[in-house]
Amino acid sequence: MDDQKLGDDVYAVQMNPETCACKTPLQVAYFVLDNAKYWYLNFIYNFMYKCFDMDKLHFVEGDTDSAYWAVSGDENAGIKQQNRY
């Protein structure tokens, strides 16, 4: 790794690809993410779409460990309306 001081708090850092080493197998990382995506989509399509009215529930975005859903309903009914739209 090469570094060069440009100012008091500023450095330029460059990695040398010849000396850069990966200490974990990429196959493991790829499998973990791919397997997580499979179970994530399996849950959404085989459970959420079958159990809930998807006209009122919308999948916004997600990651391997989080899901963001937009739920529509009557804003005047309060938080106790549950799924009775």
The identity of residue 56, as a single letter, is K
Which pLDDT score, from 0 to 100, does residue 1 have?
Answer: 59
Confidence of residue 11 (pLDDT cuts 50, 70, 90): confident
What pLDDT, on the 0 to 100 scale, is given for residue 20? 62
Q: Give the per-residue SS3 of the chain.
A: CEEEECCCCCEEEECCCCCCCCCCCHHHHHHHHHHHHHHHHHHHHHHHHHHCCCCCEEEEEEECCEEEEEECCCCCCCHHHCCCC
Convert the pLDDT of each residue in 12-70 to its tens digit: 887 766 766 667 778 888 888 888 888 888 998 999 989 888 888 888 988 777 889 98
